[in-house]
Amino acid sequence: MNKLPLSFYQNPDVCAVARELLGKELLVNSDGVTTGGIIIDTEAYAGACDRACHSYNYRRTPRNESMYRSGGTVYVYICYGIHHLFNVVTSEEGDPQGVMIRAIHPTQGIEQMLANRKKSKIDKTFTNGPGALTAALGITIAHNGLSLEGDRIYIRESGVKMGPIKVGTRIGVDYAGSDALLPYRFCSVPQ
């Protein structure tokens, strides 16, 4: 099923992985139902040297523990007490970098996702936004620490042609000072 190999995630260049994830398909299995979509918006979090990153200066807490695992691990945490945010851990064990997935283009399990989002039709906000897409796919804190090589949640080649990549600054990280200006956000849409 063309699952991406662990070596894909273990790249020490987190921005390269963030770019390469565009156009890949993220899939989640819940109770035999598969939901998923094409990744169209990502952000890189560069670990110890990035003030916007939870693991800045090797800060280590129970919450961000999975960021220290080897590339290909799932990092999910709760933001604003309400939203589950999904990240792919990159680089090698002990180097806490990761890519946050901000938006997808829905492809699999639309019915289930509509139910998860309590919506009757797909609109602009359906799977756009880090909290919105995890709600649609059914990603929760229970997925934190899982391997992307497993069957519950994984990423595979989609074969979809993507348009040009738009680069920008990350959202909601004003507290990070000058690091908030880094061009670490990447967007692209299927062509």
Give the binding site for DNA (CB under 7 A): 43, 45, 52-55, 59, 61-64, 67, 77-83, 85, 87, 98, 100, 117, 125, 129-133, 135, 141, 170-173, 175
Q: How far is the CB of 33 from DNA (least distance, A)?
A: 21
- In the complex with DNA, the residue whose CB is nearer, 128 or 147, is 128
State how far the Cα of 133 lies from the Cα of 153, in Å rounded to an integer. Answer: 14
- In the complex with DNA, the residue whose CB is nearer, 2 or 125, is 125
Single-letter code of the amino acid located at 39: I
Q: How far is the CB of 43 from DNA (least distance, A)?
A: 6
**Residue burial 178-188, b: 16+ Cβ < 10 Å; e: rest:** ebbebebbbbb
The CA dihedral of 169, 70, 54, 60, to the nearest 10 degrees, is -160
Q: How far is the CB of 59 from DNA (least distance, A)?
A: 6
- In the complex with DNA, the residue whose CB is nearer, 77 or 189, is 77
17: left (phi over 0), alpha (psi -120 to 50) or beta: alpha
- In the complex with DNA, the residue whose CB is nearer, 80 or 191, is 80
- In the complex with DNA, the residue whose CB is nearer, 111 or 161, is 111
Q: How far is the CB of 158 from DNA (least distance, A)?
A: 22
DSSP 165: P
Angle at Cα 65 formed by Cα 64 and Cα 70, nearest 5°? 110
Q: How far is the CB of 77 from DNA (least distance, A)?
A: 7
